[in-house]
Structure 1
Amino acid sequence: MTKVMLVINPSSGKGSGKEIQEDLEEALGKSYDEVETRMTEGAGDAKNWAKEAADDQYDGVVVVGGDGTVNEGITGLAEAENKIPFGFIPLGTANDLARALGINLDPKIAAKELADFTTRKIDIAKINDAYFCNVAAIGAIPSAVMETSSEEKSKFGFFAYVRDSMRALFKDKEHTYELVFDNDELIEISTKVIIVALTNSVGSVENMIQDATPDDGLLHVMALKEENLLTELPNLIHELNGGYISEANNMVTYNVKHVSISVKDDDEAEVKANIDGEVGPALPIDIEVLPSFLDVMVPNHKTE
């Protein structure tokens, strides 16, 4: 007898998780003898239940929700001793991991495609005592994104992030950071944003990092290096229209396996990281990639 746990966040995606519950149970029933469905009621449920599923030797766990719920599921599996396949239906605003893995952003289609899936390994990363599967972001822009209300995200979608990000670029001050990479290379940079990503898609921008893949075993570290917005913005807009942001003249990019980041400002202001769209730990932080850590369910698109 094979068994899968289905964890649905009923508040994500304007309640669309409940709407696809029946489709999901039917689709998963093609691969598993038993589908156990649970509805989250609060923060931590998806994390605890994913860990429980692994520890109790279920044959898989599928999480339905936004980026934060997906992160919880992956964190639960990261903390478990036993490893089991992980599936997810994206109901968030950015859905970057889904974009990188070719999972359909229409939840009804994504649910039905789980009737015939294969698995592929992906990297995740550990940041202090937490984990992320897509991005850790530091600075004014991530801080603004963290303050974007759920109501605004539901009403305006990705444009709510764009609006708040642009406000942050013009309004907020930059910090000076010290970054130490795997080979003990040390750099100091004054910037408004640092991104540590695992895939090519960040903030639903799929051309963020050239050549980045979910299983390349690397952290892709990016930072804005220009202070003059009149210099920054035209270049970034140009890259958004077809190039890669990581290749823009005003970006500095490093591909590493480990990075430590600390704030070097005289006022020692507290700066927090944003991990997969949620508030993360305050700096200093230590990030390492965990290569090919997780088996993720993806559509089995057979070629004719």
Structure 2
Amino acid sequence: MTTFALIINQKSGKREKDQLIETIKNFLIEKNIPEKNILYFYPASADETREMAKEACLDKIDVIIPLGGDGTIKLVCAGIYEGGGYSRLGLIPTGTVNNLAKSLNIPLNPKKALENLFSGRELAIDIARVNDQYMISSLTLGLMADMALSVTPEHKRRYGALAFIKAGWKIFLRRRSYRVQAISDQKKQYFKTKLLLITMSNTVAGLPGFNQKDTVDDGLFTVYTLRKTHFIRFFFYFFFRIGKFNHFRHWDSFQASELRLINVRKKDKNNPNVRIDGDVAGKLPVLIQMLPKAITVIVPKK
């Protein structure tokens, strides 16, 4: 008999989350899943989220459902991987961005996403290790990371893209560039850039339009660096010309399965902020290593 575990981020939308938990429980019972086979975990920290997912996987729970944003999903994926990979990941999108769900074509409607758990197929996807953390979608440093650090969750919910544009304009006026050494499994190179972006699929921040060849299971990530930035044009492509961001002319890019990023300038004030899947992740140096087909997800049939 199939067993399910819900790992619940308690910091977001408690009332709505309680209603969703009840909806999920009732749906599973209607699918003849005994209530005793539905487990609930309420971690109080990121470390607990990762550890509870690991323990559930070691206990041979069949499907683990994270209820939270991409940050919560990333921690659950880390736990499943460290627990040996037995459990399948079931996605019910409840975040603001839902980047991984969108890259896998998971329905955003909760009831349709629940149906997918029973009608879908299994797909093994890549994750990446970044120092002692994990990544499921993207890493940014420079302009986008600095912008995100300047936007509070409340402003993001209230103003959406406008909050990032306001923060980005202030950061853009500083005209700060970073000097980075990148050592990949292919070559060593240096960049002077306002923005470095690493993607593991064709979607970033929930939007498509990067390298159409990027897939969630090809064992590679794509590294983009921005040679120069025209602020208005940059935001036009990123927020409004959905699906066309790869047409922005000033990108350089390459693919790799392993990459070390080092700050060339030694002063701390010139060491760029790093964000992984939208969460603060410190500063350089970082070592990024792909873990091919590390997690099995239930996705819609083709």
Q: TM-score, normalised by structure 1?
A: 0.87
Map of 2:283 onto structure 1? 282
**Other-structure match for 2:121:** 118
Please give the alpha-carbon distance, in whole angstroms, between the structure 2 residues aligned to 1:25 and 1:243.
36
The answer to whether the aligner puts 1:181 opposite 2:180 as a matched pair is no
Q: Which sections of structure 2, spanning at least 5 residues, go unmatched?
A: none
**Partner of residue 53 from structure 2, selected from 38, 45, 50:** 50
Instruction: State the distance in 2 between where 1:117 and 1:64 align.
Output: 19
Counterpart for residue 208 of structure 2? 206
1:161 counterpart = 2:160: no
Structure 2: how far apart are the matches of 1:295 and 1:40? 22
Find the aligned partners of 2:17 and 2:301 in 1 and give their Cα distance: 22
- In structure 1, the residue matched to 2:199 is 197
Q: What is the percent sequence identity of the aligned residues?
A: 26
Which amino acid counterpart does residue 142 of structure 1 have in structure 2? A
SS in 2 for 1:88: coil
Residues in 1 aligned to 2:282 and 2:155: alpha-carbon distance in whole angstroms: 24
The alpha-carbon deviation at position 123 of structure 1 amounts to 0.8
In structure 2, the residue matched to 1:80 is 83
Unaligned segments of structure 1, at least 5 residues: none
- Once residues 238 and 272 of structure 1 are traced to their aligned partners in structure 2, the CA distance between those partners, rounded to angstroms, is 23
Q: Counterpart in 1 of 2:253?
A: 253
Deviation of 1:172 after TM superposition, in Å, equals 5.0
- CA-CA distance at 1:158 after TM superposition: 4.1
Map of 1:152 onto structure 2: 155
**Which of residues 84, 91, 106 is equivalent to 2:94?**
91
Q: Deviations over 1:54-95 (max 9, x none)?
A: 111211211011111111111211222343211122222221
Q: Please tell me whether residue 237 in structure 1 is matched to residue 236 in structure 2.
A: yes
Distance across 1 between alignment mates of 2:274 and 2:91: 24
- Cα root mean square deviation, aligned: 2.4
1:66 equivalent in alignment to 2:65: no
- 2:173 is aligned to 170
* Cα distance, 1:244–1:258 mapped onto 2, change above 3 Å: farther
Take 1:56 and 1:103, find their aligned partners in 2: how far apart are those partners? 26
Encode CA deviations 1:87-123: one digit per residue, 9 max, x unaligned.
1222222211111111122335424443433221111
1:234-291: CA deviation from partner (whole Å, max 9, x where unpaired): 3773585265433432001111111111111253533332011111142111111111
Amino acid paired to 1:271: P
The amino acid across from 1:3 in the alignment is: T
SS of structure 1 residue aligned to 2:53: helix
Give, in whole Å, the separation in 2 of the partners of 1:179 and 1:31: 52
Any conservation in 2 of the 1:27–1:113 contact (CA below 8 Å)?
no
- Give the residue type in structure 1 aligned to 2:26: E
Conservation of the 8 A alpha-carbon contact between 1:209 and 1:246:
yes
Deviates more, 1:124-133 or 1:76-85: 76-85
Tell me the amino acid that sits aligned with residue 204 of structure 2: V
The total of aligned residue pairs comes to: 297
Return the offset for 1:165: 3.3
Report whether the alignment pairs 1:17 with 2:20.
Answer: no
1:214 to 1:165, Cα distance in 2 relative to 1, 3 A: farther
Give the Å deviation of 1:2: 3.0
Shift of 1:11: 3.2
Q: Measure how far apart 1:131 and its partner are.
A: 0.5
CA distance in 2, matches of 1:106, 1:161: 26
Aligned runs of 1:209-220 on 2, under 5 Å? 209-220=211-222
1:133 is matched with 136
Contact 2:185 2:258 in 1 (8 A): yes
Say which is worse superposed, 118-127 or 81-90, in terms of deviation.
81-90
If the length of structure 2 is used for normalisation, what is the TM-score? 0.88
Distance 2:200 2:152 in 1: 26
Residue 14 of structure 1 and its aligned partner are, at CA, apart by 6.5
